[in-house]
Amino acid sequence: MLSTQSHLRVGMVGYAFMGAAHSQAWRTVNRFHDLPLHARMTAVCGRDEAKVAAAAARLGWDEHTTDWRALVARDDIDLIDVCTPGDSHAEIAIAALAAGKHVLCEKPLANTIDEARQMVAAADRAAASGVRSMCGFNYRRVPAVALMRRMVAGGRIGDIRHIRAAYLQDWITDPQFPLVWRLQKDKAGSGALGDIGAHIIDLTQFVTGQHITGVTALTETFVKERPLPQASSGLSAAAGDGNGSAATGLVTVDDAALFLARLDGGAVATYEATRFATGRKNGLRVEINGSLGSVAFDFERMNELEFYDATGPSTEQGFTRILVTEPEHPYMSAWWPPGHGIGYEHSFTHQARDLIEAIATGAAPAPSFTDALQVQLVLDAVLRSAGQGSGWTDVEPILAEVAA
């Protein structure tokens, strides 16, 4: 039963890295954005009673539970926010949609194409009765990225020729870093590819309005065996069992993925996703070159957008650094005076803002599960290409038969 009040009562599953980021978003969204619905942090779910109780108190949730099925079944929850690793996204999201709850699901949507298609089918069934679903590609909501899309759509760089995208991290360069869930295929689906490559696939398709149709790819796993973890959260972990054990396990995902792509609007692209770019912490960079100019974004300078306008006099041409902090810039009127920048967490608040607005107005939020399935199909094409000596591989069409 959905709330008839002006509240959107949220139940969140998972309370670590993304759980904290999403909690911050639900906590702040109505304090800065004027919205028709008020997010209420009703209950958080985790598997360990003591840890989830502590997380609920720390992050600001009214209640906690260790049973996500009970959470999904509650009458006083309107939306389920899925912040767990990919191996549980499909089960939780499909159950929540079947129970009539709106769903926000972290990326990548699922670990396999089959799961992603089942999730799209469940979302389509639920949408018929006004239940909404969205995937958490939060980088779309960085104001400079949203501005980039606006400028590209407005024709400021003309016809798009090149897309150059890289997402560079270095948190597992140490071979003694333990075998956390992100390094296990059954839990994560893939490695750097699905974790961070998925973001630049979504971001570039979002900005250009073009979709990847085919790829030639390679992947590499530099460190093939690692110590088992003692504890982990997000991108940090401790090795060993606390008794000096040296037990190890095999890494079953890619450490790095690189691919060339063609897009349906005629652009060509290069993508690089790696966790071995020593010195690069969260280096998400995208540059798009068009017939009339270029735009470039670097997350480590997330309040800025570079713009090259090739239509002006040659004597005055050069890349312009746009400080994306004016109230006329996407999302920025809710925050601080011009020049007072925002950070990583704000992309999640903007995500919550857009989802609440869609739910309140009856609009379909984006990225939809179908949009996220399309990203999943690109990930799948990359892995198939890499598995067959980098041969050219078409992305499977989105409209395929879905098992009921």
Ligand X SMILES: NC(=O)c1ccc[n+]([C@@H]2O[C@H](COP(=O)([O-])OP(=O)(O)OC[C@H]3O[C@@H](n4cnc5c(N)ncnc54)[C@H](O)[C@@H]3O)[C@@H](O)[C@H]2O)c1
Interface stretch with ligand X, choices 8-16, 117-125, 355-363, 386-394 (CB under 6 A): 8-16
Q: Check binding of 83 to ligand X (CB under 6 A).
A: yes
317 binds ligand X (CB under 6 A): no
Task: Give yes or no for residue 24 binding ligand X (CB under 6 A).
Answer: no
Backbone angles phi, psi at 346, to 5 degrees: -65, -25
| Subset of residues 28 to 47 that bind ligand X, contact rule: CB under 6 A | 45-47
Tell me the one-letter amino acid at 19: G
CB atoms within 10 A of CB 310: 14
**Which residues, including other chains, have CB under 8 Å from residue 315's CB and lie 6 or more apart?**
none
Q: Considering only the stretches 84-92, 206-214, 238-246, 284-292, report the one whose residues sit in contact with ligand X under the rule CB under 6 A.
A: 84-92
With both helix axes pointing from N to C terminus, report the angle between 198-208 and 143-153 in degrees, rounded to the nearest 10.
40
Is residue 18 a contact residue for ligand X (CB under 6 A)?
yes
- Nearer CB in complex with ligand X: 191/290: 191
The Cβ-side half-sphere exposure at 311, using a 13 Å CA radius, reads 9
d(CA 161, CA 265): 9
Position 53 contacts ligand X (CB under 6 A): no
Q: Which residues are 285's β-sheet partners?
A: 166, 298
Residues numbered 58 to 77 that lie near ligand X (CB under 6 A) are: 68
* Number of Cβ atoms within 10 Å of the Cβ of 320: 11
What is the smallest separation between the CB atom of 190 and ligand X, expressed in angstroms?
10
* Least distance CB 211 / ligand X (angstroms): 21
Task: Report the alpha-carbon distance of residue 218 to residue 345 in Å, rounded.
Answer: 32
Q: CB 277 → ligand X: shortest distance, Å?
A: 17
Subset of 179-208 contacting ligand X (CB under 6 A): 195
Is the torsion defined by CA of 350, 119, 40, 25 positive or negative? negative
15 binds ligand X (CB under 6 A): yes
Query: Could you say whether residue 178 binds ligand X (CB under 6 A)?
Result: no
Chain contacts with ligand X (rule: CB under 6 A):
13-19, 45-47, 68, 83-86, 88, 106-107, 136, 138, 195, 233-234
